[in-house]
Structure 1
Amino acid sequence: MEFEDILYDVRNGVAWITINRPEKMNAFRGQTCDELIKALNRAAYDKDIGAIVLAGAGDRAFCTGGDQSAHDGNYDGRGTIGLPIEELHAALRDAPKPVIARVQGYAIGGGNVLCTICDLTICSDKAQFGQVGPKMGSVDPGYGTAFLARVVGEKKAREMWYMCRRYSGAEAVAMGLANVCVPHDQLDAEVQKWGEELCERSPTALAIAKRSFNMDTAHQGGISGMGMYALKMYYDTAESREGGNALREKRKPEFRKYIK
């Protein structure tokens, strides 16, 4: 089997790439990231594909970020933190065609970062967006912070990261994190409609426009790479590990007792 953690399907010129780990709320492990990168690169350079959809299987979650069961100071794959997350983010940004995030449920943590990076986000009225890093002993020191501020504004981005609150699909549209929020049972049809409309546009014009949009934030890729090294060192601390321990023990974390 070529893919284990994702599904790859083409619907009338629109490539649907679906994280297929609903039992894990579509949290990604190292293998998931590798498969997503491979699928994104396939769709990106297939001339028969006009748009890409990034989705999550089931009704509960689009994606909830890194799989905490595969995280004990380091994740289970390759890369600085055990996940090739910089490569995954680059694959989304570098694909020379629009990528649509289809959000039917939770887009939390690293899943929220994926939505931020995608060109467009279409969500259900059951969607929930938010960050959890400071509650879990983690943070995204790249696109998830700096680029989020470009998308929703500096104050709102800081609120999302510092307070770790949840936001509805309608709130996501209001803050600019999503393009449109539709009734849950209309989500797939709406996403496919947008994808097919994109297939009617000039692919070269779209590719140039995407490169142009990305140009003024290209430096954030370098910030992300450096930030992942800082994150790796943070993951090696008792303070960071307290987040995972508290989750497993179903209690509130006590981060402050580990401040040196």
Structure 2
Amino acid sequence: MELLDVLYEKTNGMAKITINRPQAYNAFRGRTIRELIWTFRDAWDDNRIGVVILTGAGEKAFCTGGDQKEKGDEGGYDYNGGLGGGIGLEIENLHQTIRNIPKPVIAAVNGYAIGGGHVLHVLCDLTIASETAKFGQAGPKVGSYDAGFGSAYLARVVGEKKAREIWYLCEQYSAEEGKEMGLVNKIVPADQLQAAAEEWADKILAKSPTALKMLKYSFNADSANIQGITQLAMGSLAMFYNTDESAEGMNAFLEKRPVEFNKFRK
């Protein structure tokens, strides 16, 4: 597959996948998602690979979710990417691939991990953050949501109260705050992030691949039911994107004006 939005390299048993849209704060479009799925599956199929590192290009962002500028006229992400659960993105497929690849996935968060980008790092097995990393959700601010893994699994990680705070308030949290709530395993200076991720990858590569695979399956088992919730959530999101309420969030973001959701409470 020709890669335009993602950088992919395999060395010494580790695969490194980099979202390469720094001009858009590594926000994803349909092609980005397809390339991420392809690279993760390639790492899955390559028996020489024992661990995957996911990161973002540049210093500003890990990933800031769906690119609002790429949304179609009907609210969905019109990228010629197939139905993608109805929203034009194969995001369910990507989430399942990250969860099910039988190898540990390390998120190296180098900046903003916001919205759908925040969900990606939460789904990874481990998260190492730079001191400049920022975490948070934005969906309700822009007329969107992830009521599947993005909320239900997040609650498993940080607890119900904190997960509700993250989604209801849409504030941003520092790396230190992320570590306190259990979102982050380790914090390092920005210039040491990739080296720290590779150091952990090397430690993982020294372990039994079968043991790691079975442990990952065991960790996933307790939250496997969320996949069904995700299908319902993405189906409802596809319908929501066609409403004036969702469009108000997107238009306010693009027009850089205050959002006016109060009119939808009448």
TM-score interval w.r.t. the shorter chain?
over 0.9
What is the one-letter code of the residue matched to 1:134? Answer: P
1:44 Cα deviation after fit:
1.4
How far apart in 1 are the matches of 2:14 and 2:174? 27
Matched, 1:67 2:67: yes
2:219: which partner in 1? 213
1:185 Cα deviation after fit:
1.1
1:128: which partner in 2? 134
1:10 Cα deviation after fit:
1.5
Q: Superposed, which structure 2 residues align to 1:186-205 within 5 Å? A: 186-205=192-211
Q: RMSD in angstroms over aligned alpha carbons?
A: 1.0
Q: 2:154 is matched with which residue: 148, 156, 163?
A: 148
Q: Superposed, which structure 2 residues align to 1:10-29 within 5 Å? A: 10-29=10-29
What is the one-letter code of the residue matched to 1:224? Answer: T
Q: 1:102 is matched with which residue: 108, 113, 129?
A: 108
Unmatched tracts of structure 2, length 5 or more: none
* TM value normalised by structure 1: 0.98
1:184 Cα deviation after fit:
0.9
- Report the number of matched residues: 260
What is the one-letter code of the residue matched to 1:120? Answer: L
Q: CA offsets, 1:81-132, max 9 Å, x none?
A: 1100000000000100000011010000000000110000000000000000
Q: Conserved in 1, the CA contact under 8 Å of 2:69 and 2:254?
A: no
1:69 Cα deviation after fit:
0.8
* TM value normalised by structure 2: 0.96
1:17 Cα deviation after fit:
0.4
Q: Conserved in 2, the CA contact under 8 Å of 1:103 and 1:124?
A: yes
Q: CA offsets, 1:194-218, max 9 Å, x none?
A: 0111111100000000000000111
Q: Conserved in 1, the CA contact under 8 Å of 2:135 and 2:178?
A: yes
Matched, 1:228 2:230: no
**SS of residue matched to 2:18:** strand
How far apart in 2 are the matches of 1:173 and 1:4? 33
1:45 Cα deviation after fit:
2.1
1:248 Cα deviation after fit:
1.5
Identity, in percent, stands at 57
What is the one-letter code of the residue matched to 1:240? Answer: S
How far apart in 2 are the matches of 1:13 and 1:147? 29
1:162 Cα deviation after fit:
0.2
